[in-house]
Structure 1
Amino acid sequence: MPLIINRQSQIEQVEDTWTLCLDAEAALPAGDVIVPLKRMLADANGEISSHAGGVAPLVEPADDTLTIKELVGTLPLVAVHFPVFTDGRGFTHARILRERFGYQGEIRAVGDVTRDRLQYMARCGFDAFLIAEDRFKAEYLEALSEIGVDYQGGAYDPRPLFRRWAQ
């Protein structure tokens, strides 16, 4: 069972209804699936558009977020992959989804999600973090509230600190 942390610093150990389907040739399993963005956009045989369950894209670091702009209103979830710690392009994907496209659904960080980056991910618009149970420690929750004052704006409040104080 995966461990999902939501943005309100709560752990929810839930049975995740979403299945990650990375194989471009494999048939989609029943239920809700997360498929690579490229497969979702290609969908030549219509398998994805006719799938009975929910379908969500997995955005890889090299993917162009602009390609899903028209789909944003119909997506229940967007998963953003962090393959390694040193690749931060997923932060930009989340900011574009929240700030430019006004995406209101769940943005889930998957892959190499570590404590060091949880608060930064939340500031960029992520509201769920999928962490392997064997890597999770209870102190991960503290990361979301360690910094009490943010000088720059974020995805949920784009105003810089001096603008927030002025009101």
Structure 2
Amino acid sequence: MAFSEVAGPECGKRIGAASWPKGTLSAAGNIAPEWRIVFCIMLRTRSRGNCVATYLELKEQAEKLLAEAERMREQEIADAIADIKRKIELYGLTAADLGFARSGPVGNSRPKSARPPAAVKYRGPNGETWSGGRGRKPQWVTQALQEGRSLEEFAVKNGR
């Protein structure tokens, strides 16, 4: 693409190729691809009446372009969601059909323990139970031991 095709009548004056940065033009006089965006931004800047844009002008244009890109992204997302909802309704799809359904009851997401509850080995004076497993002893066991009683007094016969 030649400069005259890009610049057109928007540019106040045509800059000679000799004053352009090295690598801007190819041997055939076409604008190198990496310089096209620079010229597009420069050509959109008309506040000074020529093709030279200041840093602040370029920054302002870049911010506007980013804001426009974000608006377009949000619109495309909204369109995609609407299309998906329409197809879900059209085909009567469910979350399970799409692989989103959870297996098991809704609520606690932690998997249940595969182990059955431990058998009761000790029963307290008020009906409390303890399996005698590892870890802290229940308060009623600790209190009974401090009173001088033994665990054998609380042992359950035949798991009842």
Q: Report the TM-score when normalising by structure 1.
A: 0.19
Structure holding more helix per residue = 2
Q: Which has the larger radius of gyration?
A: 2
Bigger relative contact order, structure 1 or 2 (CA pairs below 8 A, ≥6 apart): 1
Q: Report the TM-score when normalising by structure 2.
A: 0.19
Structure holding more strand per residue = 1
